[in-house]
Each structure stands twice: as structure tokens, then as C-alpha cells.
Structure 1
Amino acid sequence: MLYVVTGPPAAGKSSWINAHAKASDIVIDLDRITLALTGPGAPQWNHEPIASKIALRARYAAIDEAIKHLDQVDVYLIHTMPSPQARTRYRRLGAQIVTVDPGEAVVRERVKAMRSTAMDRVVSRWYGSYRKGGSRPITNQASRSW
């Protein structure tokens, strides 16, 4: 099964996957990929542009390979704001799309506490354009202990 996990930055997408995926499952997470490709001490989020570009290419390759094995393993893919074309592709693959959204106020507090101010724009875009209608919690994702 393919699980496409969406939601704004700092919503708890990785935590949701950690609560549901097994060790044998495939997890495709751009933050994890970028961290794996960078040196010791690299930040967990807010990566340098070159590292992000390389990680994005690796992510595309991982997705292309992983979907070939959906009959053997579950695949968890974090995709914050999939385009309509991507959603169509995921549906064609039989994906379950999971939206993790603890609410805009919670997300903004988390971003303020642990992400760069540049993430504010992504949060605004997610709630304004992608979510179309602003904050409305979708999951009961437990808050992480910060």
C-alpha cells in the first residue's frame, strides 16, 4: 500500500509515519533524505539549496523505484502539497492519502519554535491555497513534546 502523508510544515507527518510504519516499510521523506546526504551537524530542517536540490532528485528516484514494489512492502511518502497531477498519479496507484493537520495555531507555534521564519510562508500557502479555507484539523495527531 502507498500512503501519501500530507500536511503543513511541523504538523506531525513524520510522527504519524513513525506511529504507523514497520521497520520493513519504505519511508520517503525529503528531510530524512537530505539529512542522510549531508555532513555531521547539518540541521534537521531548513537545508542548504544544493543539498535540497540533490535530495529532491534522490526522492524522485526513490518514489519511482518504490512504486514498483508496492505488492511487497508498504510505502510511506511525505508530500506536503501534492499538485493535482501528483494526486491523480497517487490515486491511480491506489494510494491512501492521509492529511495530518493539528490546526493552524499549533503549526504556527511549532514553526516559530523550531523552524526558520521562511517556513511561515509555506504554512500560509498550505492553509490559504492548498487547504482552501484555512485551518480545520483533520487528524487527532498528538502533539510532540518540544
Structure 2
Amino acid sequence: MLIVVTGPPAAGKSSWIDAHAKPTDVVIDLDRITSALTGPGAPSWNQHPLHLRVAHRARYAAIDEALQLVDQLDVYLIHTMPNAKALTKYKRLQARIVVVDPGRDIVMHRIAAMRSPEMERVATRWYNARRRLPQQAMPQASRAW
């Protein structure tokens, strides 16, 4: 099964996966991929653009391979803002879409504390886009706060 986890930056998507995925599942998370491809001490967030470039290519390859296996194992895919084309593909694959959203105030506080200011713009875009869509899934926190 494909489980697509979406939500704004710093919402707790990785934490949600940590709480639900099994060791035998495939997890495709750009932050984890970037961390795996960089040297010791590299930041977990606010990665260098060249590191992200390599990690994005690895992510695309991992997605292509994992989607061929969704009938044999669970695949967790973090996709912050899937566009209409991606959502159509996920629907065709009968993916479960999970929205992780602890609320705008919490997200913006976390971004200010842990992420680059650019992520505020991404979060604002996510919330603006979300407002224009019918609410198909209830927002949820990644854990009880």
C-alpha cells in the first residue's frame, strides 16, 4: 500500500511516519535522504542546495522503484504539496493520503525555531492552497502535544 503523507513544513510528517511505519516498510523522506547522502554533522534541515539537488534525484529514483512494489509492501512517501497530476497518480494507485497539520500557529513557531525563513513562504503557500481545496481529510497532529 502507498501512504502519502502531506502537510506544511515542520508539521511533523516524519514523526507521524516514525509512529506508524514498520521496519519492513519503505520510507521516502527528502530530509532523511539528504541526511544519508551528506557527511557527518550536516544539518538535518536547511540543507545546501547542491546536496538537495542530489537528494531530489535519489528521491525520484526511489519513488519510481517503490511504486512498483506497493502490492508487496507498504511505502510511506512524504510529499508536502502534491499537485493535481501527482494526486491523480496517487488516486490511481489507491494511495491513502494522510494530512499532518498541527495548525498554522504551531507550524510557524516551529519554522521560526528550527527552519530557514524560506520555509515560512512554503508553509503559507501550503495553507493558502489547502484553503482552496475541499477538506477531504481532517488535519491532525503528528503526536499528542
Using structure 1 for the length normalisation, give the TM-score.
0.92
Please tell me the residue identity of whatever aligns with 1:61. Answer: A
Aligned equivalent of 2:143: 142
Aligned equivalent of 2:20: 20
Q: How do residues 1-146 of structure 1 correspond to structure 2 at under 5 angstroms?
A: 1-128=1-128, 130-132=129-131, 138-142=139-143
Counterparts of 1:58 and 1:66, CA distance in 2: 12
Counterparts of 1:110 and 1:74, CA distance in 2: 29
Q: CA deviation at 1:55?
A: 0.5
Please tell me the residue identity of whatever aligns with 1:99. Answer: V
Counterparts of 2:142 and 2:38, CA distance in 1: 29
In the alignment, is the contact (CA less than 8 A) between 1:12 and 1:143 conserved in 2?
A: no
Identity %: 62
Q: CA RMSD in A?
A: 1.7
Using structure 2 for the length normalisation, give the TM-score.
0.92
Counterparts of 1:94 and 1:138, CA distance in 2: 20
Q: CA deviation at 1:118?
A: 1.4
In the alignment, is the contact (CA less than 8 A) between 2:12 and 2:141 conserved in 1?
A: no
Count how many residue pairs are aligned between Structure 1 and Structure 2. Answer: 142
Gaps of 5+ in 2: none
Gaps of 5+ in 1: none
CA shift in 2, pair 1:53/1:143, >3 Å: farther
Counterparts of 1:68 and 1:20, CA distance in 2: 21
Counterparts of 2:118 and 2:4, CA distance in 1: 24
CA shift in 2, pair 1:121/1:62, >3 Å: same
Q: Secondary structure at the match of 2:76?
A: strand
